[in-house]
Amino acid sequence: APSAPKSLLVVGAIADVVEDQFKRLFAELGIGPVAFLPPRNAFVLLRNTLYFDGHGTAQALAVLLAYAVIGAAMASTRAPNRG
């Protein structure tokens, strides 16, 4: 059986040009799909919702949702124990 394709999630805010370079580099290395957490996904979600009736928003929405879940999980582990 063939191995599963490699994928990558890059966390952190980087410049758009750097994100584009990373995507090209990872594609050349055979790593993909590559998803980046905000800020670009927020822009894509807003633009596609406003101008394209929501078409093409699934990946951006999934990435932003993952960002929110990870942030909530981190916040809940750091919350003081009040008991």
pLDDT tens digits for range 32-60? 788 877 667 777 888 888 888 888 888 88
Helix (H) or strand (E) holding 16: helix 16-28
**Band of the pLDDT at 24, cuts 50, 70, 90?**
very high
Higher pLDDT, 8 or 28: 28
pLDDT digits (tens, 9 = 90+) for 54-82: 888 888 888 888 878 887 887 788 756 66
Contact 40, 66 (CB under 8 A): no
Mean local confidence (pLDDT), 16-41: 83
Nearest Cα to 14, choosing from 33, 40, 34, 35?
40
